């Protein structure tokens, strides 16, 4: 391989909307056989909106949203943004400022609002405090998951009090991008911290096989999943956008960051898809294969 020919490859890459860290990246791009995709913000838009508020028996929806929104206002997670935005709108822009706030990575948030100890997040976050969902809230969570909607539970002062349902749309280009990956002979897989049923529904929508869905993975465990797949002999490309994807991007044979994502992800990656259009993944792999074929 001559450096000049490789640089032609990187120049074409820029035209395709892909930034390549250096010419040496093309070699791993060519060898990739498995593409692991983060769900939120990568396969989906990552811009969530609040669809519904479900209050437990004896609770008020407004209060569920107000306390959850106050706490989520301090978080930048897509779920948090949707909740805080809706709460702000409904309260006329006046939310209490939390006295305490802590992020439970991949699980949700905890803190104190107006003297109440508040939790917002996955069922697992509540389970850590030995809080169970009453049947009406468990039902709301299950129904949301069946419709590929993310539901988070809201608890305060030792009891689960509500469920918030948010939705995120699959990007219009994702299905075509995944079809191209399969056509190139690659195996696409979905890796997410979200609920298994939500993940399965999104996977079905874009044509990822159910056995290739890895869900409910904590951010710190995403890199281990990549390492495990590599140990099985796969050559793994990881595509992600979040702070929670950075370690996985660095562990993969090839890390691809969405240009629309966080700086941390972009810094950890070998390739950046400038516009966040997943079709550039297949384009980059095809380009790398062609470039190296031309040079031989």
Q: Among residues 41, 108, 162, 276, which is the contact residue for Mg ion, using CB under 5 A? A: 41
Which of these ranges, 26-34, 94-102, 171-179, 190-198, lies near ligand ADP under the rule CB under 6 A? 190-198
Which of these ranges, 33-41, 55-63, 93-101, 131-139, lies near ligand ADP under the rule CB under 6 A? 33-41
Nearer to ligand ADP, 10 or 192 (CB): 192
How far apart (Å, rounded) are the C-alpha atoms in residues 109 and 222?
20
Residue nearest to ligand ADP (CB): 193
Nearer to ligand ADP, 83 or 281 (CB): 83
Closest CA relative to residue 221, chosen from 71, 81, 36: 36
Q: Among residues 219, 224, 250, 274, which is the contact residue for ligand ADP, using CB under 6 A? A: 219
| Residues catalogued as catalytic | 38
Which of the choices ligand ADP, Mg ion, none does residue 150 contact, using the CB cut-off of 5 to 8 A by kind?
ligand ADP
How far apart (Å, rounded) are the C-alpha atoms in residues 284 and 79?
31
* Residue 265 in the binding site for ligand ADP (CB under 6 A): no
Which of these ranges, 13-21, 57-65, 88-96, 189-197, lies near ligand ADP under the rule CB under 6 A? 189-197
Nearer to ligand ADP, 39 or 116 (CB): 39
Q: Are 165 and 154 in contact (CB under 8 A)?
A: no
Nearer to ligand ADP, 26 or 248 (CB): 248
How far apart (Å, rounded) are the C-alpha atoms in residues 112 and 124?
19
Q: Could you tell me the CA-to-CA distances from 229 to 211, 214, 233 in Å, in that order?
A: 14, 11, 7
Which parts of 44-63 interact with ligand ADP (CB under 6 A)?
Answer: none
Nearer to ligand ADP, 281 or 287 (CB): 281
Which parts of 157-186 interact with ligand ADP (CB under 6 A)?
Answer: none
Q: Are 280 and 35 in contact (CB under 8 A)?
A: no
Nearer to ligand ADP, 26 or 247 (CB): 247
The CB-of-270 to Mg ion minimum distance in angstroms stands at 18
Per-residue buried b or exposed e for 13-26, using 16+ beta carbons within 10 Å of the residue's own CB: beebbbbbeebebb
Q: Among residues 23, 98, 111, 193, which is the contact residue for ligand ADP, using CB under 6 A? A: 193
Which of these ranges, 15-23, 36-44, 61-69, 196-204, lies near Mg ion under the rule CB under 5 A? 36-44
**3 state SS for 128-156:** HCCCCCCHHHHHHHHHHHHCCCEEEEEEE
* Residue 38 in the binding site for Mg ion (CB under 5 A): yes
- # residues contacting Mg ion (CB under 5 A): 5
Q: Which residues bind to Mg ion, rule: CB under 5 A? A: 38, 40-41, 241-242
Q: Which residues bind to ligand ADP, rule: CB under 6 A? A: 38-40, 72, 75, 77, 79-80, 106-109, 120-122, 150, 152, 192-194, 219, 242, 244
């Amino acid at each position: 391989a001559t450096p000049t020919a490789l640089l032609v490859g990187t120049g074409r890459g820029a035209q395709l909307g892909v930034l390549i860290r250096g010419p040496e990246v093309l070699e791993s791009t060519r060898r990739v056989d498995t593409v692991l995709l983060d769900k939120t913000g990568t396969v989906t838009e990552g811009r969530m909106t609040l669809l519904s508020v479900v209050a437990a028996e004896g609770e008020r929806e407004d209060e569920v949203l107000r306390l959850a929104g106050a706490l989520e206002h301090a978080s930048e997670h897509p779920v948090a943004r949707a909740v805080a935005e809706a709460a702000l709108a409904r309260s006329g822009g006046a939310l209490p400022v939390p006295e305490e706030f802590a992020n439970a990575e991949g699980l949700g948030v905890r803190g104190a609002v107006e003297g109440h100890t508040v939790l917002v997040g996955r069922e697992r976050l509540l389970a850590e405090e030995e809080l169970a969902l009453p049947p009406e809230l468990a039902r709301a969570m299950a129904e949301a998951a069946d419709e590929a909607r993310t539901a988070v539970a809201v608890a305060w002062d030792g009891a689960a009090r509500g469920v918030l349902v948010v939705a995120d749309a699959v990007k219009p280009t994702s299905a075509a991008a995944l079809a191209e990956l399969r056509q190139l002979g690659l195996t696409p897989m979905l890796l997410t911290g979200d609920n298994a049923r939500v993940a399965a529904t999104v996977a079905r929508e874009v044509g990822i096989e159910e056995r290739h869905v890895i869900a409910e993975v904590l951010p710190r465990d995403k890199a281990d999943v990549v390492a495990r797949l590599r140990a099985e002999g796969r050559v793994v490309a990881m595509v992600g956008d979040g702070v929670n994807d950075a370690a996985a991007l660095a562990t993969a044979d090839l890390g691809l960051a969405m240009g629309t994502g966080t700086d941390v992800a972009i810094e950890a990656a070998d390739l950046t898809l400038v516009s966040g259009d997943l079709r550039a993944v297949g384009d980059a792999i095809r380009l790398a294969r062609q470039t190296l074929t031309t040079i031989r």
